[in-house]
Structure 1
Amino acid sequence: DFVKVGTKNTEDLPNAAAAKEIVLTVGSKEYTVNKEAKTADAAAYIDANNRTMVPVKFIAEEFGKLDFGTVNGVGTVTVFKDGAVLQFQNGSNIMNKNGIAIPMDTAVVIKDGRTYVPFKYVADGLGIGFSFDPATKSITFTNQVK
């Protein structure tokens, strides 16, 4: 016997399947999607551990689906994309991917009312390609059509 576990609303994620190149710059709310200019509600920043933190809402809106909730009284963010389920808890340096705890080298934080996660882990967890240009402090996320 076995149990198949699905995730809510993942069957209809148009953003998750679309080919995209997203470029954002640390400290700026301006970014591009396939060279089209857009504005986010919060900017990426570099934390005390020298890790680039991005607002998780930004990633989820562009690549998947987002759900905010509470687990054991702690704020939790869940991101869904193509069958992957990532969970981040405020103050924790653990990313939960499909039930597996993955240590991160910096913790999730809430800053100015936004939840920030280290971009490398959320990109890896969702299967999104990424690069960071230290000269311009820009991050490029890439997603390919399946």
Structure 2
Amino acid sequence: MSQAADILHLCTSKGLRLTAAESCTGGMVAAALTDLPGSSASFERGFVTYTNTAKTEMLGVSPATLAAHGAVSEQVAREMALGALTNSDTHIAVSITGIAGPGGSEFKPEGRVCFGLAVRTPSAIEECSTETIEFGALGRDQVRLAARNHALSLLSRAASAF
């Protein structure tokens, strides 16, 4: 069974619903989950917010946060995950924002990806954690694939902890 199938099976058995807010992966997490039959039992929706405008309009990411930290930051990943949770009927939201390449800068190199994981607990309290992974200059396709796989791992761990 694939990682996505395992996640869906676990979420279905626990009555959990998922969402993903994606930037550099462009919907790859949503695609991995919805490629499987029966995914609608657990995957509620996905947000592809490739631009800052989309992040603001669809997820409520603050323009001030974007201006202060840039789109590729844990602060934006946090607001994306919380925005996805707020704008869906789900228990777990993952967010991804990064620089798949080519390119990058001295301060934000190619392969840097920030993740957010927001969880709505049974008491309706929202918890959110963030992290940054430096995948390195693996090339656009490989960075995106690595980011997708890491996001799926985050979803799996969160669902297991419920």
- TM-score range (shorter-chain normalised) is 0.3 to 0.5
Q: TM-score, normalised by structure 2?
A: 0.32
Q: TM-score, normalised by structure 1?
A: 0.35
Instruction: Name the one with the larger strand percent.
Output: 1
